[in-house]
Chain A
């Protein structure tokens, strides 16, 4: 098992694997997405309190989950990269960041669109939304730092450190914001769903969450390939690739 992991740590081998994987992941994500949307919009009943407006959760919850999962994944790859000094870890982290930032933005956007009809304002300083906002800044910070440093290896490793430091701080930030929120607002103005969700609603949400997860895997796998090509373009194996050598006039 250990040999297999280190085999795929080489960009050349991972490039081939990723190339085979991403189409399947994309197809699976689409299938899950269609199923989730069908269950969520065609089958699930309306909510007792929120009417049809609750259906935003079918995207809001998945994008929020992904925004957090992706940051954890970035921290994981960062620890791996700093420990084993592998090139691929830095590429994985960089490939994850744009998706994470996008999902965080979507979480804020859909959260605002959910909050407006339910609570009357576009923005509430709800503990989760505020933490999501700070998470957005963490993503932007990583992207800004890695873009600003010219030396690719140094940028990777600096980004890895800030990702790890950020990840350690995420629970602290969440805890402090939650504390701040309950002190200042008394009754919690939270966007959590009531625990008793109709079965169909739950199924719809799970299907959508899975769909977004697999979509992320697909897009990150695809994106890493571009990074590998870009960074390893001087090597013999890249130049021997059919899509590269075949294009030579």
Chain B
């Protein structure tokens, strides 16, 4: 393990803002992408269900 303490880890040798800024935005974007994909699936299912109801 390279890091002696948590504060050292977050500080990243002074580059903390840049490293964590990158990681955070990446995680945020991917999380958003997953959430939007699940939304799309929910909407598609809802559309299909209304189609099925109309057909029956």
Residues of A bordering B, CB below 8 Å: 41-46, 51-53, 55-56, 59-60, 63, 98-99, 102, 105-106, 109-110, 113-114, 116-117, 215, 219, 222-223, 225-227, 229-230, 233-234, 238-239, 241, 243-245, 247-249
Contact = CB atoms under 8 A, between A and B. Distances in A.
B30 A215 contact: yes
A239 B51 contact: yes
Contacts, number: 109
Contacts of A247: 45, 49
Contacts of A56: 18-19, 22
A229 B18 CA distance: 41
A223 B40 contact: yes
B52 A239 contact: yes
B23 A42 contact: no
A226 B44 contact: yes
Nearest to B46: A247
Interface in B2-55: 2-3, 9, 12-15, 18-19, 21-23, 25-26, 29-30, 33-34, 36-37, 40-41, 43-45, 47-49, 51-53, 55
Given A52-B12, A59-B26, A248 B53 contact: yes
Sort chain B's interface into a size bin.
20 to 34
By DSSP majority rule, is chain B's interface helix, strand, loop, or mixed? helix
A245 to B, nearest CB: 6
A190 to B, nearest CB: 18
Interface of B: 1-3, 9, 12-15, 18-19, 21-23, 25-26, 29-30, 33-34, 36-37, 40-41, 43-45, 47-49, 51-53, 55-56
Contact of A51 (B13, B29, B44): B13
Given A99-B33, A113-B21, A230-B44, A45 B15 contact: no
A102 B33 contact: yes
A98 B33 contact: yes
A99 B40 CA distance: 14
B49 A219 contact: no
A51 B33 contact: no
Given A42-B1, A219-B33, A219-B37, A55 B47 contact: no
A98 B37 CA distance: 10
Nearest to A99: B33
Contacts of A249: 53
Cβ-closest 7 pairs across A and B: A52-B13, A53-B15, A229-B44, A233-B48, A110-B22, A52-B12, A226-B44
28 contacts: A42-B1, A43-B1, A51-B14, A52-B12, A52-B14, A52-B15, A52-B19, A53-B13, A53-B15, A56-B19, A56-B22, A63-B26, A102-B30, A105-B29, A106-B29, A109-B25, A110-B26, A113-B19, A113-B21, A114-B22, A117-B18, A219-B34, A225-B44, A229-B48, A238-B51, A239-B51, A239-B55, A248-B52
